[in-house]
Amino acid sequence: MGQPFIGSEAVASGDLAKSALRTQYRKLLRDVYVGRNVELTPEVRARAAWLWSRRRGIVAGLTASAVHGAKWVEPSAPLEILHTNRNPLAGIKVRNDRIEDDEIIWLDGMPVTTPARTALDMGCWYQTDDAVARIDALISATDLKPADVEALAQRYPGRRGTRMAGIALDLADGGSQSPKETWLRLLLIRAGFPRPKTQIPVCNDFGEPFAYLDMGWEDLKVSAEYDGEHHWTDRRQQAWDIRRQEKVEGRGWINIRVVAGERPADIIQRVAAARARRGSS
């Protein structure tokens, strides 16, 4: 079977022998199985959690975000679901927040929180920096607008975490391409720099973009980019990065490259020095 199913139902209907569950299928959760060779995509994992709830729950939070196409959701992350069960299994995080019908979307027969409700939940449930990174990824994957989430939050004025959600939404930016880019952007904002623009196009003499900078300030032509490990371990990537850097600098940009392990204070100092060279603090 390509989709998760409730084992006891399959046995009761005569579709499967009880012994086949142990030998031919993989157990995902209590009484929830899937074919041994089925890839555990976000949709498969979400459906397993929903079936575990006996189809009473609603896929929510980070799990809903992954179903909506958001990246950077770890396969090992707990499955999140809105449900009344107070005795969840390990690997399932049950929430019992109130929800309205128009905050639910049905995807392939499974109830999932809408992108706006998903963002609100993550803003309320997670620490600010994590929430910002998660909301960044959700905005990037959908047509979600922070204003939609802010309007939804007004339905729940007394909800715990609403103030934190507002802070996260204000800091969110769908131009972030990874959690590390979000981290760098938040570092610069909290250092007192003007909020940087994300995904800035750099054009050639014909007005055609040849690069998009992670973040920066177009008026000063100062940018900052976070280089993941592959930038340093992949030789072809290294060669491309060198050529790209030369072309970006040739268009008048100071492009600061940040790598893992750099001290935040050093990053801030480098950015401040670049901005100062362009006549701004």
In the chain, the percentage of residues whose pLDDT exceeds 90 is 84
| Residues 6+ positions from 108 with CB-CB distance below 8 Å | 43
The sign of the torsion formed by the CA atoms of 242, 248, 253, 259 equals negative
Q: How many whole angstroms separate alpha carbon 70 and alpha carbon 65?
A: 6
Question: What does the pLDDT average to over 81-85?
Answer: 91
What pLDDT score was predicted for residue 5? 96
Q: What is the pLDDT of residues 114-156, one digit of tens each?
A: 999 999 999 999 999 999 999 999 999 999 999 999 999 999 9
Mean pLDDT across the chain: 93
Question: What does the pLDDT average to over 92-108?
Answer: 95
Token pair for 104: 């639910």
Token pair for 194: 């003007």
Q: Which pLDDT band, with edges at 50, 70 and 90, does 277 fall under?
A: very high
What pLDDT score was predicted for residue 172? 96
Q: How many whole angstroms separate alpha carbon 55 and alpha carbon 110?
A: 8
**Residue 273 pLDDT more than 70?**
yes
Enumerate the domain spans of the chain.
Answer: 1-38, 55-171, 179-277
Q: Strands 79-82 and 92-95: what pairing?
A: parallel
Helix (H) or strand (E) holding 201: strand 197-203
Residues in the chain: 281
3-state secondary structure of 65: helix
